[in-house]
Homo-oligomer: A and B are copies of this chain.
């Protein structure tokens, strides 16, 4: 198995894990099969699509139907497995974390290939990994979970900083990318294992915003 087919398998695993996540969230809202498919697809490809729009390249899923097929397989799996899926939580966590690491690396690579600086690449990597989940929660009308729990996105940023540091130290691409992926995975696993989370911000004065500010009396 060469490098490319290895990466491709990783990508499929990540797409599958993200799609299943979207479909399961949708199922809890009692949507129909089409809705579940759409939410699964958006979860799997939404981050990468927004990234590609911002990088001004063709959205990746328009180049091969494999992402649509994987989402379809994910839907069939959720239907067939039903309640038994929850026994596989650990497997999904591993798949999801591998997928996340892969999405971060791909997002960074694509940005660097378009000659953007590292700080843009880190944002794009994080975006690729985290935005699908935000879109999923918007679609099903929830406050994005990623804003409240876990250090999901922080793991992406830590991975991105590792990439930057190793690249600055002149390590080659393989080393940079492997270490980035490892950084994302280890951070996420450690965060879940040791219950790390970011502090919550406290509100001040009720719901405020730039469109209902009050003028001073």
Residues of A within 8 A of B (CB): 17-18, 21-36, 38-39, 43, 49, 53-54, 56, 58-59, 62, 65, 68, 78-79, 82-83, 85-86, 89-90, 92-93, 96, 99-100, 116, 119-120, 123, 130, 132-134, 136-154, 189, 192-193, 197-216
Contacts and interface: CB of A to CB of B under 8 A. Distances in A.
In the complex this chain forms, how many copies of it are found? Answer: 3
The 8 lowest CB-CB distance pairs between A and B, nearest first, are A35-B147, A90-B216, A28-B203, A21-B210, A32-B198, A31-B147, A93-B213, A86-B205
A127 to B, nearest CB: 10
A157 B167 CA distance: 46
Nearest to A217: B90
A54 B212 CA distance: 28
B145 A212 contact: yes
Nearest to A92: B213
Nearest to A93: B213
A2 B197 CA distance: 46
B25 A207 contact: yes
B93 A147 contact: no
Which secondary structure characterizes the binding site on chain A?
A: helix
Given A62-B54, A207-B25, A209-B21, A200 B134 contact: no
A199 B33 contact: yes
Contacts of A145: 207, 209, 211-212
A83 B204 contact: yes
Contacts of A26: 147, 201
Nearest to A151: B34
A204 B208 CA distance: 30
Most buried by B among A35, A90, A206: A35
